[in-house]
A and B are shown apart, each in its own frame.
Chain A
Amino acid sequence: MLGAVGGIAAVVLAAALVLRLPTLIAPALGLLGAEYATFFALRGDTVDVRAPLCGAAFLLVAELAFATLELRAGKPEAGLVARRVAILVIVALGGILAGALVLAAAAAPLDGGVALEAVGLVAAVGLLVGLGRVAVRSR
């Protein structure tokens, strides 16, 4: 079953690249994420410490897929491509660091409960709202 979900994700991603439909990239990555979540559900309670690496890999796949579809005019001057590659590497390393921080925070010895989950939910929603506000302000 996991293989089937992964296969569908790969087909959707290929369709996005071939048909030049950037809107299909997010669903493809979502399917890959769903496959990963199913893998956790089957695996049990142990925390997968490779998750930050997987997150960075997901981000790299997304960046490369969007870069393939982006309409970029003009021949880049010398050094521009190297800068782009360097930024991608930094983004990937930053992604690994962020994922590791999240896992480290999750491993903190805190008592669980509805209140803590509610705080987490509010924090997640707050993060998304905050990003939205920054996006609106930067227009």
Chain B
Amino acid sequence: MSREASPKVTAYAALGGLALIAALVLRRPELAALGAPFLVLLGAGLLQAADPELHASVHVGQDSLLEGDELAVEIRLRAARSVERLELALELPAGLSIADGDNPAAVHVAGGLPRIVPLRVRAERWGAFDVGDLTVRARDAFGLFARTGQVRTTASVKVFPRREALRRLLRPAETQLYSGDELSRRKGEGLEFADLRPFAFGDRVRRINWRASARRGELWVNEQHPERNVDVVLFVDSFAELRRGATSTLDLAVRAAATLADRYVRRRDRVGLISFGGYLRWLEPGGGLVQLYRIIDALLDTEIMLSHAWKAIDVVPARTLPPQALVVAFTPLLDERSVRALLHLRARGFNLDVIELSPLAFVEAGESESEQLAYRLWRLQREVLRGQFHAAGVPVAEWRDGEPLAKPIEEVTAFRRHARIAHA
């Protein structure tokens, strides 16, 4: 800890010394009496100015929590000598804020006794955060000296994105081979009735539909839809974002991707991730809780990195995009590279759904006529872009902050139902 003297030290020494000299020169003892209090206080303060040997540490109650939850943080203090006034300032990163307690705070620490200063910290935003350093300043009883130091904290906290409520998930056009919870459109062994067909050699007797067989005069058997798993690849566009206050399009993307990853993994589906942006990262599809945490960790590290390099979807390893996988893209449709990559995926035959993280809530039309014209043109361009996706058979559903995620999911489902009827 570094020590600094208050301007009082110099001032009191000068006043006291001046008063003593003046008392001698002018032969007036009153002047000595006038300066004596300053010198007494200075002497008492100097005798108490020893290092209080302060030990401070920061402890966090948990290392992971959900966006919006509160975290208990304790500042533990112990000093060999009393500290009359100890000022504490915990540097919190953007995304964490004080919910309860004072920061900065000033407390008294009794010598030899432990002291705990509790704080409640609210996680305002998802992300991986290092709880910042603690700055302490110890002042003596007379305010003559202050010792300042910084305590490095090693505590880090992962704030998982808030989950959205969903009644149902996006259904893929095709399922995979392994058993799961998704009803396959194919016919085979399963629970859900699919169709009737004439008996063929090799069919089990238990599959015979006796009522239908009696009506038709020959043996007919039931066919079922098998329950299969799904490969889902979550495509997060991190080329660009629009932000207003504490919310951004990237926040929406991460929240939606985390919600879907959680729901699909719990259904025994395999989920992969492609974070497509200035910093490219991917995770091959996999199942289980470990995979879910891998995805969440990757999402927490997602950030917008400015890059002008052209990137195509070809740079992603083929195994990350298994055949017949359902690709769910979360994009504000602001960067041409991600738009081209998505259309490329569709051209390769992937089952693609686009959740458009609407940037309209983050942009104002402006006041001048030219600004409003530009705004209208920009909106028209976006309509054209959506039309391109629709023409390619890709549903684009808009999701705005504050709306339930179920809304775009239902929109996509409705688009698929409508498209199937149209093509029939």
Q: Which residues of A line the B interface, CB within 8 A?
A: 22-23, 25-26, 29-30, 33, 36-37, 40-41, 47-48, 51-52, 54-56, 58-59, 62-63, 66-67, 70, 72-77, 79-80, 83-84, 87, 91-92, 94-96, 98-103, 105-107, 117, 120-121, 124, 127-128, 131-132, 134-135, 138-139
Contact = CB atoms under 8 A, between A and B. Distances in A.
A26 B14 contact: yes
B41 to A, nearest CB: 6
B34 A33 contact: yes
Contact of A135 (B46, B89, B137): B46
Given A75-B106, A80-B106, A131-B42, A33 B19 contact: yes
Given A73-B89, A75-B105, A106-B29, A87 B38 contact: no
Sort A-B residue pairs by CB-CB distance and give the 10 closest, nearest first. Answer: A95-B37, A106-B29, A99-B33, A51-B30, A74-B104, A26-B11, A74-B106, A138-B49, A51-B33, A98-B36
B36 A131 contact: no
Interface in B12-42: 12-22, 24, 26, 28-42
Nearest to A25: B11
Nearest to B117: A77
B76 interface: no
A55 B26 contact: no
Given A73-B137, A83-B108, A95-B36, 17 more contacts: A25-B11, A26-B11, A26-B15, A33-B34, A40-B28, A48-B30, A55-B37, A75-B105, A77-B107, A77-B108, A95-B41, A102-B33, A124-B20, A128-B17, A134-B43, A135-B49, A139-B3
A37 B33 contact: no
B7 A76 contact: no
B24 A124 contact: yes
Given A75-B102, A83-B84, A95-B41, A26 B107 contact: no
B28 A22 contact: no
Contacts, number: 183
Q: Which of B16, B29, B39, B47 has its CB near the most chain A CB atoms (within 10 A)?
A: B29
Given A33-B15, A33-B19, A128-B17, A103 B29 contact: yes
Interface of A is mostly: helix
Nearest to B40: A98
B142 interface: yes
B8 A30 contact: no
B89 A58 contact: no
Interface of B: 3, 5-22, 24, 26, 28-44, 46-47, 49-50, 84-85, 87-89, 102-108, 137, 141-143, 145
B34 A36 contact: yes
19 contacts: A23-B11, A30-B18, A33-B34, A40-B28, A54-B33, A55-B36, A62-B8, A66-B7, A70-B6, A72-B87, A73-B87, A77-B108, A80-B106, A94-B40, A98-B36, A100-B33, A107-B29, A120-B24, A138-B50
A123 to B, nearest CB: 9
A105 B33 CA distance: 10
Nearest to A92: B37
Contacts of A29: 11, 15
B393 to A, nearest CB: 61
B22 to A, nearest CB: 6
A79 B32 CA distance: 35
A33 B26 CA distance: 13
A67 B8 CA distance: 10
Given A41-B26, A74-B88, A87-B142, A30 B9 contact: no
Contacts of B102: 74-75, 77
B29 A33 contact: no
B223 to A, nearest CB: 73
A98 B141 CA distance: 19
A135 B5 CA distance: 10
Given A73-B104, A100-B33, A103-B29, A138 B46 contact: yes
Contacts of A62: 8, 11-12, 15, 38
B143 A67 contact: yes
A120 B33 CA distance: 14
Contact of B29 (A63, A91, A102): A102
A65 B33 CA distance: 21
Nearest to A41: B26
B40 A22 contact: no
A86 B20 CA distance: 28
A74 B89 contact: yes
Contacts of A96: 37
Contacts of B88: 74
A23 B8 CA distance: 9
A54 B29 CA distance: 13
A124 B21 contact: yes
